[in-house]
């Protein structure tokens, strides 16, 4: 079984601010209310829309499946947008002489 890393850290820590801005813009386009100053709080909006009880602080009662649903909504939207952006860049390259 794979061992989970304790805590989350970015491979390039300097990318954190840009990733947060990206998350905010993607989730706003998905229809969620996002405070650009606190984009990580969009998880509460996502949880609410899914009917999952999530509150600031300790969520020890939260099922792993429910946590995955919340993270999946956010991460999935971000990945779809990154793929769309990459496809657009590739298409634009093909149009250059």
Q: Is the pLDDT of residue 3 over 80?
A: no
CB of 36 closer than 8 Å to CB of 24: yes
| Domain boundaries, given as residue ranges, for the chain | 17-55+63-94
Residue 83 CA to residue 85 CA, distance in Å, equals: 5
State phi, psi for 61 to the nearest 5 degrees: -80, -10
pLDDT tens column, 85-97: 999 999 988 766 6
User: Does residue 5 register a pLDDT over 60?
Assistant: no
What DSSP line would sit under 5-61, residue for residue? PSS---SSGGGHHHHHHHHHHHHHHTT----TT-GGGHHHHHHHHHT----SS--TT
Q: What is the tens place of the pLDDT at every residue in 31-74? A: 999 988 898 899 999 999 999 999 888 888 899 999 999 999 99
The pLDDT of residue 1 is 45
């Amino acid at each position: 079984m794979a061992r989970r890393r304790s805590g989350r850290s970015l491979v390039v820590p300097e990318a954190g601010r840009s990733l947060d801005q990206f998350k905010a813009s993607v989730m706003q386009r998905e229809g969620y209310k996002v405070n650009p100053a606190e984009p990580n709080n969009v998880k509460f909006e996502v949880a609410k829309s899914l009917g999952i009880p999530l509150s600031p602080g300790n969520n020890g009662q939260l099922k792993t499946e429910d946590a995955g649903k919340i993270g999946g909504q956010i991460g999935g939207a971000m990945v779809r947008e990154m793929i769309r952006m990459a496809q657009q860049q590739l298409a634009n390259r093909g149009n250059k002489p």
